Amino acid sequence: MLGVGCSAFSPLPPGLFRAHILRVSYTVFARKYRPQTFDDVVGQDHITRTLRNAIEHNRLAHAYIFVGPRGTGKTSTARILAKALNCVKGPTVNPCGVCTACTEIAAGNSMDVLEFDAASNTQVDKIREIIIDNVKYAPAHGKFKMYIVDEVHMLSASSFNALLKTLEEPPAHVKFVFATTDPQKVPTTIISRCQRFDLKRIPAALISAHLLMIAGKEKVALAPAAAESIARGAEGGMRDAESMLDQLVAFCGNTITEEDVLNVFGFTAQQTVTTLCDHLLSGDAPAALALVHAQAEGGKDLMRLLADLIAHLRNLLVAKADPAGLTDELSEEQVAALIAQAERVAMDRLLDLIEQFAAVEGRMKWAPNKKMHLEVAVIRAIQTLNQATLTEVLDTLTALRGGTPPPAKPAPKPIPAPKPTIAKDAAPSPEPVPFVHEAPSTTDPASLWATAIRTIRDERHPLRLWASSGTLLSIDGGTAVLGFQSDQSLAAGHCEEPANRQYLEDLLSRLAKQPLKLRCELREQLDVPAIPLAQTSEPKPEPVRDPMEDFKNDPLIRRALELFKAEIQPT
């Protein structure tokens, strides 16, 4: 196609052809700084170490499959392995890089290393032509003939089936290296015939350091904050990060700041994400909404903002659970800032926020008005943080009583059944589990239940309101039957809750000195016997009175409702 204003027969101006050649010869960073040795591979030490050991100890497999996200070094590692095996000094863990085999493999024109894309050669006829019919021929120059198949999961089922026999028993001079980003689509019959290596996403800190190294060699003034922003946006892919740096150099020249990265790619500054999280934790809805509005008006990607916020909340969660887990990803200053911010929020609240924002992320993906969804999510998150949790309510009630919360008690160990015989050298039996109150001398249900109520009063006072509305009817066949009036279904339901049921079963098993299971029953007519005054000074509970009324009228409960401006909703 002719250029504008140029004649088909007019001679080219002097120097134009040379300039055209210079433009064509430009090599992008992703190719120019592609790893050439095992030492150059970034963030995959577990892979390079295994391959080094295999080469040194002559334990090379006939087929490998490299699995991992894009841009993490699958094909580059395959080429390095090919150079290590076919180098004039090989097999060696340090290929020279200057011999004919090394230079041809690096340039992609070696006759002994055939690299092709499975997406372009899916048919079985292509596989037969390229691989199956040619594996029998010896390598032209090197020691091994290698087939590097990129995106191998794109092959058809017929191609995989045709490859099975050759892959299982190839000639001694043939090595296969497969690469894929979607291993689920590769048949297990193929994977089982290969040694699998999983390449992980490269940590942002390593990507940032690598970008600064490239910038230094290219005489580009790259700000460390800009490198960190690129690394976060690359999401673990080195090739993506190098391509972004290449684009920034073309746009900004030899000086790149963090603001340049944010403007070109629509990323969000880490400080912006931290500030948004501060507004959430402070309950400052106007400031949080203003920040979201400013980001939207500035053309920022709100999906990226939400993803960065979720990642930040995840970092806060890790900072509370295991601060050392962040040292490989972030600097010491960043970890310290996260730990300080994490002290302002409980772990369960962070889990709730992550779940809420993750659900919004799924909806925003297809929503035309992403800003509205994010604003609603921000307001709901602030409401969630302002709501009192059950733990906080209980702590407040305990403080109003003037006491401290009782320590958590481990669940009692089940009592083992007696053995018929005991060996002479057997260890002495353990001491019996102590009871809070003296166990009844008989398994009379009424006496046993009276003791159980006193124990419940001391250990789990709120449960006493529900349990005292029933009566222990019988103990038979390892089952304790707890009866309630037909209008006491609410009390029976609370006793049947998993945690309460487990507690009651363990308590009754200790008192009766036999393992018991609990079953609650509703009866039309049921007399709840009064507990004798000699056993407890508590008044006899009303047989037909709903315990919820006592709970609502409790002065402490009423005081707590006033403090939290709350009300009890029926379930």
- Kindly state the DSSP code that residue 13 receives in the 8-state scheme: P
Q: What is the model's pLDDT at position 163?
A: 87
Radius of gyration of the chain (CA): 36
Helix (H) / strand (E) element for 277: namely helix 270-282
Q: What is the model's pLDDT at position 422?
A: 39
Give the Cβ contact number of residue 399 at 10 Å: 11
Domains 204-265 and 270-386 share a fold: no
Cβ–Cβ under 8 Å, residues 310 and 300: no
Angle at 280 between CA 278 and CA 282, to 5 degrees: 70
Q: What is the model's pLDDT at position 66?
A: 95
Dist CA 301 CA 308 (whole Å): 11
Q: What is the model's pLDDT at position 397?
A: 65
Structure-token pair, residue 364 = 């925003």
Per-residue pLDDT of the chain (571 residues; tens, 9 = 90+): 344 344 343 444 555 444 444 455 688 898 999 999 999 999 999 999 999 999 999 999 999 999 999 999 999 999 999 999 999 987 999 998 899 999 999 888 888 998 888 877 777 877 888 888 888 888 888 889 999 999 999 888 888 888 888 888 888 899 999 999 999 999 999 999 999 999 999 988 899 999 999 999 999 999 998 998 898 888 889 999 999 999 999 988 889 998 888 888 877 788 889 999 999 998 899 999 999 999 888 888 899 899 989 999 999 999 888 888 787 777 777 888 888 898 888 888 899 899 999 999 888 888 888 899 999 999 999 988 887 666 666 666 666 665 554 444 444 334 344 444 433 444 444 444 344 454 444 568 888 888 888 888 877 767 777 888 888 988 888 899 999 888 788 788 888 888 888 889 889 988 888 889 998 888 877 765 554 433 444 444 444 455 566 666 666 667 666 766 666 665 4
Q: What is the model's pLDDT at position 7?
A: 39
Enumerate residues 6+ apart whose C-beta is below 8 A from 41: 35, 47, 48, 73, 76, 77, 80
User: If we measure between CA atoms, which residue out of 557, 558, 528 comes closest to residue 543?
Assistant: 528
What is the CATH number that goes with domain 445-564?
3.30.300.180
Enumerate residues 6+ apart whose C-beta is below 8 A from 162: 124, 127, 128, 132
Structure-token pair, residue 42 = 């970034």
Alpha helices (H) in 2-117, listed in sequence order: 16-24, 29-32, 45-56, 74-86, 100-107
Read out DSSP for 436-475?
A: SSPPPSS--HHHHHHHHHHHHHHH-HHHHHHHTTSEEEEE
Structure-token pair, residue 59 = 């334990």
Longest dimension (CA), the chain: 121
Dist CA 235 CA 204 (whole Å): 8
For tokens 């089982």, what's the residue? 192
Q: How far apart are the first and last CA of the chain?
A: 76
Give the Cβ contact number of residue 45 at 10 Å: 10
Dist CA 312 CA 378 (whole Å): 15
Structure-token pair, residue 464 = 């006493």
Dist CA 51 CA 29 (whole Å): 26
Structure-token pair, residue 54 = 């295999």
- Kindly state the DSSP code that residue 538 receives in the 8-state scheme: S
Helix count and strand count (H, E) for the chain: 25, 10
Cis peptide before 91 (omega within 30 of 0): yes
Cβ–Cβ under 8 Å, residues 175 and 62: yes
User: If we measure between CA atoms, which residue out of 250, 313, 328 comes closest to residue 280?
Assistant: 313
Enumerate residues 6+ apart whose C-beta is below 8 A from 226: 248, 256, 257, 258, 260, 261
User: If we measure between CA atoms, which residue out of 152, 119, 114 comes closest to residue 133?
Assistant: 114
Q: What is the pLDDT of residues 459-501, one digit of tens each?
A: 776 777 788 888 898 888 889 999 988 878 878 888 888 888 8
For tokens 């794109």, what's the residue? 154
Read out DSSP for 470-495?
A: SEEEEEETTEEEEEEETT-HHHHHHH
Q: Tell how far CA 454 is from the center of its chain.
A: 46
Dist CA 459 CA 289 (whole Å): 47
CATH topology of domain 29-198: Rossmann fold (3.40.50)
What is the CATH number that goes with domain 204-265?
1.10.8.60
What is the CATH number that goes with domain 270-386?
1.20.272.10
Dist CA 549 CA 324 (whole Å): 50
User: What are phi and psi for residue 527, nearest 5 degrees?
Assistant: -95, 120
Q: What is the pLDDT of residues 35-65, one digit of tens each?
A: 999 999 999 999 999 999 999 999 999 999 9
Please report, for the chain, the start and end positions of each structural domain, with discontinuous segments joined by +: 29-198, 204-265, 270-386, 445-564
